[in-house]
Structure 1
């Protein structure tokens, strides 16, 4: 019996467990997935929790509900990977051998990396919404908040779901309008980037929306510290932005297990071949989702596309065949813009988001880089797709793992 071990039962790890269970002979291959958690969180739902659009019950389910029968779920914490011995060590002292290892340990916020961020105002006037605890605390704050300076801030890139901070700013605009207090709230978007997003054409469209919603932007802001006493953030040039409520996206890092294992870079992301998803250092280790250092967005759609291609490559690896260099960095993201509308962007390593239709060329029904009610409905429908299709390894009809150029308006 040979062993495949998956580290992490989040989005990417759970999808891989389901894909491999269908593809492998379980009389020849034993599949185990290791995670210390008991709950599976629909992380895109964290964005909606502060605005009372979703409740905790909408975004939390039992982790075992999505682990397929025939796959061993090891509900323990991981100490480290000893790659030279093809072994995973658990904190309880157990050693788990593997023939193939799949790293799906994700990324986590690290507010301690910024001076003062996790200070006395943490989850009092300084909040994150990339954790359940942070999003819930922010919800409770906003319910009774009477107004002032709301600052939405990105510490540094890369981050999980790079459009989420912009979505938060747009949803905040809509939220306070519906509470008839928008005139009492100043919303400022603070970013280390030179514009609203990482891609030029998207930045142009998103900047227009920021202007339209009277959301000011402070760009090229390299934060030095959060001043808790005076409630302001300060960058290395001395620039200051005051806040009454700071909603920050802290530095994102890979899991500390990768640091302990000597497998990660300076941010604990695992060096990975961007086209095959194989570790650059160990041929029997593969990496999926937010855990890798590939230059693709750290988003659920990316993990979904990766899972289809990685499954094929693991089958090639088992047969001793060359791996396919097929993953193109494909990302597909809805961007909530408030007031029941959303944008949709579709891009990859070489193509930035452009206008067009999706998934059918010339037909849609979804429009790219344009606000629409249909895109908003697609964003909300994704939660059902996530729980019932994506996690279970079911192919989403008409959506290919690699980006399609048809239907897009390239210059």
Structure 2
């Protein structure tokens, strides 16, 4: 029996398991390991502080896996590469012939002084990158009647890099609808030199921040949170006062990756960015947020990369050259409030541009422009995620980015 072991039953791990179960014969066993049986639709975290019910984002991990896939509910302690074994918390050992790491990333607020260890945590300092955090933030927003709000990114990379921008737009719209926008001062605080990482997108999104009267504090490298004075303090000495701080803590890889000597300084596994094969071990592939590939840590990347990975894996187990080269394709909706959203489409080499998607010149979705249809597309993706993406059903969008129908704005 040939053994495939998948660490992580999130987006990438679940997709990979379901695709491989259909592609491999019965001489292959597929085992998926995760610490619990609760799969979360993480894009929903953004909406919970405003309108989405928390229970809506949760389903059983087991229920998402096809028949013939074993699910082991346990945390991972170590990967013993020399023995091709994974040690679970509690001491159980699982042997493998091929290992797929899809363990994602996690926010670690302990890495910023005064964040998780501060008296204001979950009171006036919040995050929405966990279900618990989103629920707590909902109450904080309900109780907020005016003052200074900071929407803050500690450092990059982070999971879904557009999510903090989305929150800034949504919270502005939230207080506008409540009729107290004039009482709320909002500042978007980022370590980047602009609203986003790429010039065209940064210009468009920065313009939208200005249109909504949201201040931009760029190049802000956070040193600490001063809980006594309620100030966010940067290494260059700048201090931003707040009444409510909505932060994105540093995002890091899983502890077992670090303990196993597989990760970089942030705990992400170095891989070939085109094949997703670990640089230090030919028997390991890394999918989703767990790798160090230079593109967004987002569900769309997990989707497109996993589709490219399947044929590569089938070639690898037969010792053939890997046929597919992932181009870093990412596709992200950006909620902008007012019942609208923007859409970004980019890859390793090409920044987000203006244009149409998915059909060149026809759309119906517009790139980098806020529209009602883009917003509806984001909402519709929830059911696409549960009903098509995770089960491995085909979605009529190419995993490779095309330049057809895209263009830079005129100078």
What TM-score does the superposition give when structure 2 sets the normalisation length? 0.98
Root mean square deviation, CA, Å? 0.8
SS at match of 2:407: coil
Unaligned runs of 5+ in 2: none
What is the alpha-carbon distance in structure 2 between the residues aligned to residue 71 and residue 33 of structure 1? 7
Q: 2:68 matched to 1:70?
A: yes
| Partner in structure 1 of residue 235 of structure 2 | 236
Determine the C-alpha separation between the residues in 1 that align with 2:323 and 2:82: 25
Q: CA contact under 8 A between 2:311 and 2:324: conserved in structure 1?
A: no
Partner of 1:10: 10
Identify the residue that residue 167 of structure 1 maps to in structure 2. Answer: 166
Tell me the residue number matched to 1:155: 154
Q: Distance in 1 between matches of 2:55 and 2:362?
A: 36
Local SS of the residue matching 2:406: coil
Q: Is contact 2:309–2:324 with CA below 8 Å preserved after alignment? A: no
Per the alignment, residue 252 of structure 1 pairs with: 251
Distance across 2 between alignment mates of 1:57 and 1:134: 14
Question: So what's the TM-score if we normalise by structure 1?
Answer: 0.98
Distance across 2 between alignment mates of 1:406 and 1:395: 22
Q: What's the CA shift string for 1:162-218, capped at 9, x where partnerless?
A: 000000000001111111111111000000000000010001100110000000010
SS at match of 1:157: coil
Residue of structure 2 equivalent to 1:87:
85
Deviations 1:19-49 (A, max 9, x none): 1011000x21000000011211000100001
The residue that corresponds to 2:210 in the other structure is: 211
Tell me, in whole angstroms, the C-alpha distance in 2 between the residues paired with 1:246 and 1:7: 34
Task: Please give the secondary structure, in 1, of the residue aligned with 2:82.
Answer: helix
2:59 maps to 61
Distance 2:260 2:146 in 1: 46
Q: CA deviation at 1:280?
A: 0.3
CA drift of 1:120 comes to: 1.2
Q: Distance in 1 between matches of 2:147 and 2:326?
A: 45
Residues in 1 aligned to 2:166 and 2:147: alpha-carbon distance in whole angstroms? 20
What are the Cα deviations for residues 82-130 of structure 1, in whole angstroms up to 9, with x where unaligned?
0111100111211111010000000000111111111111111000100
Aligned to 1:323: 322
Match of 1:368 in 2: 367
In 1, Cα distance between the equivalents of 2:146 and 2:389?
Answer: 39
**Partners of 2:331 and 2:94 in 1: CA distance:** 36
Tell me which residue corresponds to 1:44. 43
* Pairing 1:342-353 to 2, within 5 Å after superposition: 342-353=341-352
- What is the distance in 2 between the residues matched to 1:202 and 1:7? 34
Counterparts of 2:234 and 2:148 in 1: how far apart (Å)?
A: 18
Q: For 1:218-297, what aligned pairs fall within 5 Å after superposition?
A: 218-297=217-296
Which residue is equivalent to 1:23? 23
- CA–CA distance in 1 between the matches of 2:181 and 2:378? 24
Secondary structure of the corresponding residue to residue 248 of structure 1 = strand
Counterpart CA distance in 2 for 1:79 and 1:314 is 25
* Aligned residues of 2:388 and 2:395 also touching (Cα < 8 A): yes
CA distance in 2, matches of 1:209, 1:299: 22
Compute the displacement of 1:410 (Å).
4.6
SS in 1 for 2:213: coil
Alpha-carbon displacement from aligned partner over 1:119-150 (angstroms, at most 9, x marks no partner): 11111100010000111000011112111101
Aligned to 1:408: 406
Structure 1 residue runs of 5 or longer lacking an equivalent are none
CA distance in 2, matches of 1:222, 1:166: 17
3-state SS in 1 of match to 2:358: strand
The structural deviation recorded for 1:57 is: 2.0
Tell me the residue number matched to 1:112: 110
Deviation at 1:62, TM superposition (A): 1.4
- Kindly tell me: are residues 404 and 73 of structure 1, through their superposed partners in 2, closer, same or farther at Cα, counting changes over 3 Å? same
